[in-house]
Amino acid sequence: MLQRLNSRSKNGNFFIRLKELLGFSPRRLALYEEAFTHRSLQKKNNFGEPVSYERLEFMGDAVLGSIVAAYLFERLPRSDEGYLTTMRSKMVSRQTLNKVGNELGLLDLMKADCHQVDFGEDVCGDLFEALIGALYEDRGYRYCERFIRYRLIDHYVDIDTLEDTILSYKSHLIEWCQKEKIKIEYRDREDPGNESVKHFAARLFIDHKLVAKARSTSKKKAEEKASKRAYYRLKDQILS
C-alpha cells in the first residue's frame, strides 16, 4: 500500500508537495493549481472562462486509458480485444482511482469554497485524473507513463486478482437473475436527509423479497451499492 503523502510539509509549499508527489519538479505550476481547483471557488481565467479541475480531468482520463491500454497490449499478447477492454475497465475503475487518490492525499491539496461533503464520492479519483492531465500538458506522454506505472500499475495491478474482480455488481446480479429466471427489481426514491447534497435511496427486491438497500448521491450509485450488498448476501447461491 502506498504511504499517504504529507500535504503539510515544513513550509506548506505547493511546489514542494507536488515534487514529492510526482518524483520530479513540475514546470508549469499553474496547470497543477488548476488540477486542484474546485468549481465552487468560481475562479476565472484572463478570458473570463471558468477554471476548475474538470477540463484536466477529461484530459487525464484519456491519457490514463491510453497508457493502461498500451500496458495491457504488451503484457497480454494473446488476449483478444474483449478481454483487454474488460481488464482496462477494471484497472481504471472509480473504486481503484478513488483508492489511489485517497492514499496519495490528493484531497488535501484541493482548493474549494464548500464543505468536503459536497465534493462527491469520486473526487479523489477525479483529482488523480486531473493531475495526470496537468502532467501531460506540462511534461508529455512519457512522464505520464512513468507516473502511472509507478503510482497505479506497480502497486494496484495484479492480473489474476483483476480477473476475479466484479466491475458492476448490478449487471452481475441481473445476469444471474435472468439465467435463473428470477424477478429482480430496483425501487428508488429521493432521500435528502440532513446533507446539502441530494441523495437517493435504493431498495433491491429479488423474487419479490427485499434483499438489500443503500443510499448515495445518485440513483446509479445507490443501486450499485445495494447490488454489492445483495451479491455478498447471496454469494453462495450465485456461485453454486
| Residues carrying an active site annotation | 61, 129
Q: How far is 208 from 226, CA to CA, in rounded Å? A: 15
Give residue 67's Cα distance to chain centre. 16
Q: Which amino acid is at 5?
A: L
Beta-bridge partners for 200: 190, 216
Burial class (CB in 10 A: 0-12, 13-18, 19+), 55: middle
Q: How far is 179 from 185, CA to CA, in rounded Å? A: 15
H runs (alpha helix) in the chain: 14-22, 29-35, 54-75, 81-91, 94-103, 123-139, 141-148, 154-156, 159-163, 169-180, 219-233, 235-239
Give residue 18's Cα distance to chain centre. 20
Q: How far is 184 from 22, CA to CA, in rounded Å? A: 46
